[in-house]
Chains A and B, each alone.
Chain A
Amino acid sequence: MTDTLPAIELVGIVKSFTSHGEIVQAVKGVDMKIAEGEFFSMLGPSGCGKTTTMRMIAGFDEPTAGEVYLHGNNVTGVPPNKRDVNMVFQSYALFPHMSVFENIAFGLNRKGIAKDEVTRRVGEMLDIVDLGGREKRKPKELSGGQQQRVALARALVNKPRALLLDEPLAALDLKLRQAMQVELKRIQREVGITFVFVTHDQGEALTMSDRIAVMSNGVVEQLGTPREIYERPATKFVAGFIGTSNLLSGTVSEVIDGHAVIAYGPEERVLVAVQNGQVIAGSEVELTVRPEKMELSANAPHGTDCAVRGTVTEVVYLGTSTNYNVRTSSGADVVVFTQNATSADDLAVRGDSIWLSWEPRHSYAIGAPS
C-alpha cells in the first residue's frame, strides 16, 4: 500500500437497532481501511453485519458510533445522494419504468451533465458491459445476467470513487455466476475503481478479491489476502467458514525453537508454530491443518515432523481427487484430499490403519496472536 489516503476508512463503527424493545448490536466496532483501486470483499454468514457495514458506507444507515471517511473526508451524516460512492443492489433495484438507457443515464442526469456527454458515456458503458443495442429495452425484458450488468453500468457510469456491491451475484445460477465473477474482475481492472464486494460465498470472495474481511457477529474476525485467510485462519470461525479445515487439539509437551510439540504417542507428534512465551508446556492448544496439506500413507512416514495414526472411516471418489475421512488415534475426525494424479488405485480402503503426515508450516495454532 502506498501512502495515499485510503479510498474508504471506517473508524470504530458501531450500529445498534432496537428490536422488540431490546437493543441489538449489528456491528460492534469495525475498523478497516480500503485502498484506492482495491477489490475488497466483506465475507460472512447472513447476519454478520457485512451488509449493514456497507449500507453505512453508502449512507443509507448512519452509524450509532464511529466515523466513515471517503478519501479522507468525514462523510458521517452526509445523505447518500451527496456521497461519491455508488451501489449495486442484490436485487439490482433497476427502475422498472425506465429503459436500459434511462436507467444508466439516471445518475448523470441528476448531476446535470450535458445531454451529449450523457449519451456518449452511457454508450461507452453499454459497450463495457456488453449491452450495446439493448438500450431501449425495459428491465423486465432482460435476463438476470443482463439486468445485473445494467445495474453495474448504472453505478459505474458515474465514475464513483468506490463501487459497493451487495451480493450482486446471489440471484444468478452457478454458470452465470462464474462467468460474471470473471466479468466483474475484468471490468474492475478496466475502470480501475475501488470495489467493495459483500458476499457470503467464500469461493466468490477468494476468487475475486485483493483482500477479504471475514466478519461474524458484527466484528471483523480476520482481514487479509485470500491466501492469508485460507492458509492461516486466525480464528476457529475463519477456519471453519473458509473451506474445510481439520481441527486438532492436545496438551503441549514442550516448546522447541518457536514450535509447540504435542505428543500423541510413540512417533505420533504434531508441531505448530507459536510465539515465544505465549504457550508453555502443559497448556492446551488447538490447531488447524487444511485437508490437501495432509498426506496419507500405509507406513510410518520418514523425515516429517508431524505425523498421527488413524483409521479410514470413509472413502469418497470424486474423479480428480479422492477424499478420505479418517479418525485419528486421539479421536479427532479429519478429512484428507488426495489428487488422483499418479495412481488409479486407492491408497486405502475403509477400515485400514494408516498414517497422516504434514509439514509443521501447515499447522496453525488458533486463538493465539500471530
Chain B
Amino acid sequence: MQRLRAKLAPYFLILPGGLWLAIFFIIPTVTMLSFSLMTGNEADGYQLTWHFQNYTDALSTYWPQFLRSLEYGAAATILGIALSYPIAYWIAFKGGKRKSTYLFLVLLPFFVSFVLRTISWQFFLSDNGLLLSPLKSMGLVSQDFHILQTTVAVVLGLTYNYLPFIVLPLYVALERVDPRVVEASSDLYAGRIATFTKVIFPLSLPGVFAGVIMNFVPAASDYVNAEILGGPNNTMIGSIIQDQALHVRDYPTATALSTVLMGGLLVGIFLYARALGTEDVLEAAAR
C-alpha cells in the first residue's frame, strides 16, 4: 500500500498540470491535426484517410490570402510600433504621477466592442465621411478617391485595433528602465539621441519583442477588419478559415489552413526570436 502510494504520488502531482496541458493544448491540437487529414462531408461523416492532399489543395487555392495576411500583419505591427513607442515613452518618462491615468485614457477606447470600433472606422473612412468629405470639397483628392475597401483601410484598422497589445508591453518595459541609468548615460557624454539609441531602446527590446508577437499573431489571423473595412481583394486567411469552418463546413480544409497558419506563425516567431537573440531578450526580460 505504502509502496503503491509512493509510486502513484508523482502522477497525482503532475495531474493538474498534465490535465491542463491535455485539455487546453494536446486534445485540441491532435483533433485539429487529425481533422486536417480527413475526407468526407457533413452528411456522410468524415473519415481519417491521411489525406495529405488537403494541405496542398488548401495552400494552392489560398496562398495569396496567406501571403496577404502575413503582409498585413507585418505592416500593422510596424505601424503599431511606430505609433505606440512615442505614446508609451511619453507616459513612462513624462507621465509623472498621472501615469496610470494616461494609460487608462489610451486604453479607454478599447473597452468598446471590437466590431463596433471597427464599424466606427468604417464611418470615419467612408467616401463622403469625416475624413474624405472635407478633403474632397477642398479639391485635395479626386471625387472618386476612396480608402474604404482598400489595403490601407484594412491595415489602419488592424493597427488601431491591436494597438494596446503593443502599448502595454512597451510601457511596462520602458517603465522598468531605471531613470538613473538614463542619467548615467547623459552623464557619460551621451546626448538625447545617443541615450535613446544606446540605452533606452536596447533596454526596451523585451517590450518590443513581446509587443511584436502579441500584435503580429492576432493581426495576421484577424478577419474582422478585412470583412468590415476591406474590399474584394483584401480577404485575409482568417476569413477563409471562418468561411470554410462555419459556412461551407469543410472541416478538413479549414483545419488544414489553421494548421498551416499556426505552423507558419510558430516558425516565424522562432526565426524572429533567433534573429533578435532570444537569450539577450529573455535575459533582459528576466531582470
What's the minimum C-beta distance from B62 to chain A, rounded to whole angstroms? 42
A158 and B188 contacting across the interface, CB-CB below 8 Å? yes
Indicate whether A154 reaches chain B with its CB closer than 8 angstroms. Answer: yes
Find B190's partner among A60, A81, A90, A97 (CB 8 Å cutoff).
A81
- Taking a contact as CB atoms under 8 Å apart, the answer to whether A106 and B181 are in contact is no
Is the C-beta of A66 less than 8 angstroms from some C-beta in chain B?
Answer: no
Most B CB contacts (10 A, CB to CB) among A82, A97, A154, A155 go to A97
Q: Which of A80, A90, A138, A140 contacts B187 (CB 8 A)?
A: A80
- When distances are taken between beta carbons in the complex, the residues of chain B under 8 Å from A91 are 178, 180
Task: Count residues on chain A whose CB falls below 8 Å from chain B CBs.
Answer: 26
Task: Please tell me if A41 contacts chain B, counting CB pairs below 8 Å.
Answer: no
With contacts A91-B178, A93-B178 taken as known, whether A81 is within 8 angstroms of B183 at the C-beta atoms is no
With contacts A81-B189, A106-B190 taken as known, whether A95 is within 8 angstroms of B183 at the C-beta atoms is no
For the complex, is B156 an interface residue (Cβ under 8 Å from A)? Answer: no
The answer to whether B183 touches A107 (Cβ under 8 A) is no
B window 254-277: CB within 8 A of A: none
Is B198 interfacial (CB-CB < 8 Å)?
yes
Give, as a whole number of angstroms, the nearest-CB distance from B50 to chain A: 49
With both beta carbons as reference points, the residue of chain A lying nearest to B189 in the complex is identified as: A110
A91–B190 Cα gap in the complex (Å)? 20
- Say whether A136 faces chain B, with CB atoms less than 8 Å apart: no
Q: B194 in the interface, Cβ–Cβ < 8 Å?
A: yes
Q: Which residues of chain B are within 8 angstroms of A155 by Cβ–Cβ distance?
A: 187-188
User: Cβ of B183 and Cβ of A106 under 8 Å apart?
Assistant: no
| Given A96-B284, A97-B202, A97-B284: A154 touches B188 (CB 8 Å cut-off) | yes
CB distance from B163 to the nearest CB of A (A): 26
B199-248: which residues lie under 8 A (CB-CB) from chain A? 199, 202-203, 205
A81 CB contact (under 8 Å) in B180, B181, B191, B199: B191
- B16-67 interface with A by 8 A CB criterion: none
Q: Give every chain B residue within 8 A of A79 (Cβ-Cβ).
A: 186
Min Cβ gap B235→A in Å is: 42
B151 at the interface (CB under 8 A from A): no
- Interface presence of B185 (CB below 8 A): yes
CA distance A96 to B283 in the complex (A): 10
Contact residues of A between 73 and 97, Cβ < 8 Å to B: 79-82, 86-87, 89-91, 93-97
Q: Within the assembled complex, what's the spacing in Å between the Cα atoms of A138 and B191?
A: 24
* Complex CA distance for A155 and B183, rounded to whole angstroms: 13
Report chain A residues within 8 Å CB of B284: 96-97
Please indicate the chain B residues that have their CB under 8 angstroms from the CB of A248 in the complex: none
Interface pair A96/B181, CB less than 8 Å apart: yes
Residues of A within 8 A of B187 (CB): 58-60, 80-81, 86-87, 155
> B184: which A residues are within 8 A, CB to CB?
87, 89, 93-95, 154
Whole-angstrom CA separation of A119 from B188 in the bound complex = 17
Question: Which residues in A have their C-beta under 8 angstroms from that of B280?
Answer: 97
| Distance to closest chain B CB from A348 (angstroms) | 53
Q: Most B CB atoms within 10 A — which of A89, A111, A155? A: A89
Tell me whether A60 and B188 are in contact (CB under 8 A).
no
CB distance from B20 to the nearest CB of A (A): 33
CB distance from B65 to the nearest CB of A (A): 40
- Which chain B residue shows the least CB distance to A105? B188
Residues of chain B lying within 8 A (CB to CB) of residue A90: 180
Complex interface residues of chain A between 34 and 84 (CB less than 8 A to chain B): 58-60, 79-82
B283, closest chain A residue (CB): A138
Asked if A93 and B180 make an inter-chain contact with CB atoms under 8 angstroms apart, the answer reads yes
Q: What is the chain A residue whose CB lies nearest that of B280? A: A97
Q: Are A106 and B202 closer than 8 Å at their CB atoms?
A: no
Q: Smallest CB–CB gap between A155 and chain B, Å?
A: 8
- In the complex, which residue of chain A has the Cβ closest to the Cβ of B287? A96
Question: Closest approach, in angstroms, between the C-beta of B17 and any C-beta of chain A?
Answer: 30
Q: Do residues A97 and B203 form an inter-chain contact, with CB atoms below 8 A?
A: yes
B185 in complex: contacting residue of A59, A82, A106, A138, CB < 8 Å: A106
Chain A residues near B202: list those with CB within 8 A.
97
| A93 to B284 CA separation, bound complex (whole angstroms) | 15
B183 in contact with A93 (CB, 8 Å): yes
Given the complex, which residues of B lie within 8 Å of A59, measured CB to CB?
A: 187
Q: How far is the CA of A351 from the CA of B27 in the complex (A)?
A: 85
One digit per residue, 1 when the CB lies within 8 angstroms of any chain B CB and 0 when it does not, for chain A 99-124 equals: 00000001100110000000000000
Interface centre among A86, A106, A158 (most CB of B within 10 A): A106
Q: How far is the CA of A273 from the CA of B257 in the complex (A)?
A: 97
With both beta carbons as reference points, the residue of chain B lying nearest to A102 in the complex is identified as B198
Contact across chains for B181 and A93 when beta carbons are under 8 A apart: yes
Of all chain A residues, the one with the shortest Cβ separation from B181 is A93
* Residue among B178, B187, B198 facing the most chain A CB atoms (10 A cut-off): B187
A143 to B: closest C-beta gap in Å? 17
Q: Which residues of B contact A94 (CB under 8 A)?
A: 181, 184
A96 with B203, Cβ < 8 A, contacts A87-B184, A89-B184, A106-B185 known: yes
- A89 lies within 8 A of B180 (CB): yes
User: Using Cβ atoms and an 8 Å threshold, which residues of chain A touch B205?
Assistant: 97
The verdict on A81 contacting B178 (CB below 8 Å), with A95-B199, A96-B287, A97-B202 known, is no
Is A158 a contact of B183 with CB atoms below 8 Å?
Answer: no
Q: Are B181 and A107 in contact (CB under 8 A)?
A: no
B152 shortest CB reach to chain A, Å: 37
Q: How far is the CA of A214 from the CA of B16 in the complex (A)?
A: 62
Known: A81-B190, A93-B178, A96-B284. 7 other contacts (CB 8 A): A81-B186, A82-B189, A89-B180, A89-B184, A95-B185, A107-B188, A158-B188
- Per CB-CB distance, the 4 closest pairs between chain A and chain B, nearest first, are A107-B188, A93-B180, A110-B189, A93-B184
Q: What are 20 A-B interface contacts by the 8 Å CB criterion?
A: A58-B187, A86-B187, A87-B183, A89-B183, A89-B184, A90-B180, A91-B180, A93-B180, A95-B181, A95-B184, A97-B205, A97-B284, A106-B190, A106-B198, A107-B188, A110-B189, A138-B283, A140-B287, A155-B187, A155-B188
